[in-house]
Structure 1
Amino acid sequence: MPVSEPFSPLQREVYDIVYASQEAGIDAIKPGVRFADLHLICMRVLAEGLAELGVLPGSAEEAMEPDSMFYRRWTLHSFGHMLGIDVHDCAAARPDAYHEGELSAGDVLTVEPGLYFQPDDNLVPAELRGMGIRLEDDFLVTAEGPVVLSADLPRQAEEVETWLAAQRAAGPRPP
C-alpha cells in the first residue's frame, strides 16, 4: 500500500517494476516448469528494473551472473514459496520436490517478488532509501495455467489506489 495517496511517481515506478516481475512469474506457471527457472524469471525482471533505475553498477545481465548476483542486495528473498499444510510448506521439503524440482498440477504457491531499499543504503539515491515493495498472490498450478487464489485483491497500481481511496472514504471501522 502506498504511504501517500496516491503513489508518488518514484513509488509507482518501483511498484511497476515489482508488478512486472510478478506478472512474468505468473505467465510462466505451468506443470513442468522448474522452480529455479521461475525464480530466475522474476529476478531477471527485478534486475532489469534496477538497471533502469540506475541502481546497478553495470547491466542487468552482469548483475544476474552467478558470481555477481548484485541485484540480490535489494531483493532479500526468493520469488515465492510453496503453500500447503504450513504457510511455508517448503522448509523440510526434499530439494528434488522443491528448489530443484518442477511444478506439478495441484501445487499451490506464492509469487511474491519484492524490492527493498534500506534507509541507510548509500548505494541508492536518497529518494529510494527506506522504500520497500512486495506483491504477494497465491496460485494453483493447473494444466490450463495458474488459477489466482487471491483474485479479489487489487494488484495493479491504479487498482490499489482506487481501493485505498474507497477504504479511506468509508472511514474507520467499528471495533
Structure 2
Amino acid sequence: MSGEADAATPDGAIILKSRVLLLDRDGHALLFFTRADVPSNPTRWLTPGGHLDPGEDHLDAAVRELFEETGLTVPPSSLGTPFWSRDFTASPAPGVQRDYHEEWYRLVVDRFDPVDTNWTDDERVDVLEWRWWSLSAIRGTADSVEPAVLAELLAQSL
C-alpha cells in the first residue's frame, strides 16, 4: 500500500503493518534506503515489511513482505511471535496524519543478496539501495533510520 492509499484511509482507522528485523549470522541487519511518502520527510533506512493485505494477520503479512521485498521464502513458524510493536502517527501525504500499528518479527539467516523480482511499481521508484548493517554502522550513520530506536532493537537482538 502506498502513501496515497494510506492518505485515503478514513480518519480514525489504524493502518496495520508488519516489519522483520532480518539478521545475518554475524548480526548485521538488512535495511533498505527508501524515499519517504512526503517529500519534506527524509529518505531513510528501514527493515523489510509493509502493510497487511485484506484478510491477513501480522504474521502472514511479514512472510509475504519478506518474499516480495527480498525473495526469501520462509515458513510462518520461522518468525515465531512478534518481539516488539509500536503505535505511531505519520504523514502519508502533505497535510494528512494517520495512525499506524506495527508488529515486529526477528529472523536470522545466512547472508544473501535480495532480489527485486516481486517489488511493486512504488518500491521500484522508492527503494534506492539496500545494505547489511552492523550495529556500530547504524549507531554511527548520519542517515535517518526508521524507527529511531532501530539501533537499540538490534542491540537487544544480538
Q: Compute the TM-score of the two structures, normalised by the length of structure 1.
A: 0.25
If each structure's strand is expressed as a fraction of its own residues, which one has the higher value? 2
Which of these two proteins has the greater Rg computed from alpha carbons? 1
Higher relative contact order, structure no. (Cα contacts within 8 Å, ≥ 6 residues apart): 2
If each structure's helix is expressed as a fraction of its own residues, which one has the higher value? 1
Q: Compute the TM-score of the two structures, normalised by the length of structure 2.
A: 0.27
